[in-house]
Amino acid sequence: MAYKIMVFLLVLSLSTASSQNNNEDQYSGQFRYGNFSTDLIIDIGHQNGSDQVFFTSPQQNAFRIPAREIVIKTDSIKFVLQSDFYKYEFKGAFKGDSLDLNLTIDNAVYPFALSKNTKIDHDQVKSRDIRFRSGNMLLYGTLYFPVKPNGKAIYLVTSSGGQDRSASRDEAQFFARQGYITLHADKRGTGMSDGNWQEASIPELCEDDMNAITYLAETNSMNYSDIGVKGSSQGGSKIPYILSNMPELGFGIVVSCPASTLLESDLNYWKNRTRKELAENELIEAEKIQRSVFLFIAGELSKEELRTELESVRNDSFMSHVWVPELDSVQTDRKLSYTPVPYFEKIKNPLLVIQGSSDEIIPSQSLKTIQSLTADSNPGNRYLELEKADHAMMFKGESDFPYWPGLHPDYRNEMMKWLDQLESSGK
């Protein structure tokens, strides 16, 4: 689909992280400018005859992004990161256990310093790559093990599109650092996993997730009540389906979840992106056509019916704002017809539901609708709207340094606060 979420992470979420090099030096600290701050980790190493630099920023959900144009000398370093919009040029000097850096963007220079870590922090979270069966498919994932386990585990539910487990690597490590055994996996047809996610329905994808949860419980000798599930966007919409089929699970964390069909969510995103381009009457007419296009992709409208409708409006000016794919090459996607609403009505597990006030994708009333469906089912439920958070929980407020995105400052704190309260209440 053309209107899938595009999260800007320095190019970064599309990169594949390399394995940890034991000969690396690691420097960490904070970059600050005005009201903006973010934690940074720079790993510097040498492998197979080449210098290597990896960039990590938890608040940007970026983990070990490889740099390019690397020049490392005895007392200095240069490297570059490139995004869709900006080139980030780093130049620095080694001074004892400090790395003094200048970051240049748009001809402006921003100085900051990082400190050398005497003990690499990566050693605090151990990981093991795993594989498990889901039907006749072999799926692959990674288990993370905390140094100080709290006896609980979290499975990160796969979301939309063709992203593999690298998209949730930083979050998996975050929960492991909080004491949770954590598992995430390559969705079928991504990464190393068998299958085809495009042809699968939401219930079929949920079966893969439930098989992963069973693997997590059995291989770690855990009670299902000690395992929670967390998902965002389409992954969030899968949480109620999973919990209604696995009621013995401990809890669910649902982020940026539509209280509608996924089709209505995609249509809402299109409308929000198009609203400023059309007059209200034109927007109404364009929305009818865009809905029909999505219904065709969902398999609920025939190609002939859609072509007839398109022909009737082909000369209307608003059609330049309607997305129409090449109809003969469209693959039916029945996931668009899926809605989590009936499954929310069934579950009794404790829920944390989070929505951003700046989310342009899911219908704006989704949080209130989910609350109306579930508020009476469990006293441990909590419903939270984060001011100026977008669909990906990135902070959209005014920033003195607009060149880097960052997670909403309250997002992970609120999740951990709720999990701590759940633990203290014995749930």
User: Using CA atoms in the order 308, 314, 316, 318, what is the torsion angle rounded to 10 degrees?
Assistant: 90
Residues 104 and 128 in one domain: no
Residues 379 and 230 in one domain: yes
Residues 18 and 150 in one domain: no
User: Using CA atoms in the order 339, 340, 343, 349, what is the torsion angle rounded to 10 degrees?
Assistant: 180
Confidence check: pLDDT of 406 > 50:
yes
| pLDDT reported for residue 125 | 86
Mean pLDDT (the chain, rounded)? 91
Q: pLDDT, tens digit, for every residue of 82-104?
A: 988 899 999 999 999 999 999 99
**Per-residue DSSP letter, 151:** S
pLDDT band at 6 (very low <50, low <70, confident <90, very high): very low
Residues 266 and 209 in one domain: no
Task: Give me the phi and psi of 202, to 5 degrees please.
Answer: -60, -45
pLDDT band at 318 (very low <50, low <70, confident <90, very high): very high
Last residue of a domain, one of 73, 97, 119: 119
Among 296, 403, 427, residue whose Cα is nearest residue 352: 427
- Angstrom distance (rounded) from CA 29 to CA 101: 11
* Tokens, residue 56: 């990590």
Region of residue 104 (left: phi > 0; alpha: psi -120 to 50; beta: else)? beta
Q: Is residue 236 one of the residues assigned to a domain? A: yes
- Angstrom distance (rounded) from CA 371 to CA 383: 7
Which pTM was predicted? Answer: 0.85
Adjacent-strand bridge partners of 145? 126
- Angstrom distance (rounded) from CA 110 to CA 128: 38
| pLDDT reported for residue 427 | 58
The domain of 48 spans: 12-119
Among 198, 323, 320, 343, residue whose Cα is nearest residue 261: 343
CB atoms under 10 Å from CB of 38, counted, come to: 18
Q: Are 390 and 356 a contacting pair, CB within 8 Å?
A: yes
Q: Residues 351-371: what's their mean pLDDT?
A: 97
Adjacent-strand bridge partners of 183? 143, 155
Q: Residues 108-131: what's their mean pLDDT?
A: 84
Q: Per mean pLDDT, which of 50-59, 159-168, 191-200 is the most reliable?
A: 191-200
Strands (E), 16-124: 25-33, 36-47, 50-57, 62-66, 68-72, 76-82, 87-95, 98-105, 108-116
Last residue of a domain, one of 320, 335, 350: 335
Q: Are 186 and 141 a contacting pair, CB within 8 Å?
A: yes
Residues 46 and 80 in one domain: yes
| pLDDT reported for residue 2 | 37
The string of DSSP codes covering 340-382 is: SHHHHTT--S-EEEEEETT-SSS-TTHHHHHHHHHTTT-TT-E
Residues 100 and 183 in one domain: no
Q: Is residue 239 one of the residues assigned to a domain? A: yes
What percent of the chain shows pLDDT beyond 90?
82
Nearest-5° Cα angle at 383, 378 to 384: 160
3-state secondary structure at position 223: coil
How many structural domains does the chain have?
A: 3
Task: Give me the phi and psi of 407, to 5 degrees please.
Answer: -60, 150
Confidence check: pLDDT of 322 > 90:
yes
Residues 152 and 291 in one domain: no
Residues 182 and 95 in one domain: no
| pLDDT reported for residue 119 | 59
SS3 content of the chain, % helix, strand, coil (to 5): 35, 30, 35
| pLDDT reported for residue 5 | 33
Q: pLDDT, tens digit, for every residue of 334-357?
A: 999 999 999 999 999 999 999 999
Q: How many CA atoms lie within 13 A of 64 on its CB side?
A: 20
Q: pLDDT, tens digit, for every residue of 299-311?
A: 999 999 999 999 9
Among 103, 99, 106, 83, residue whose Cα is nearest residue 91: 103
Q: Is residue 242 one of the residues assigned to a domain? A: yes
The string of DSSP codes covering 203-216 is: HHHHHHHHHHHHHH
Q: Is residue 314 one of the residues assigned to a domain? A: yes
pLDDT band at 396 (very low <50, low <70, confident <90, very high): very high
CATH code for position 95: 2.40.128
**Per-residue DSSP letter, 195:** S
The residue whose two tokens read 């069934």 is 346
**Per-residue DSSP letter, 77:** E
Residues in the chain: 427
- Angstrom distance (rounded) from CA 94 to CA 140: 40
Residues 341 and 331 in one domain: no
Q: Are 206 and 242 a contacting pair, CB within 8 Å?
A: yes
CB atoms under 10 Å from CB of 35, counted, come to: 10
Q: Is residue 2 one of the residues assigned to a domain? A: no
Confidence check: pLDDT of 19 > 80:
no
* Tokens, residue 290: 């865009």
Confidence check: pLDDT of 16 > 70:
no
Q: Residues 312-322: what's their mean pLDDT?
A: 96
Q: Which of 21-25, 239-243, 270-274, 366-370 has the lowest mean pLDDT?
A: 21-25
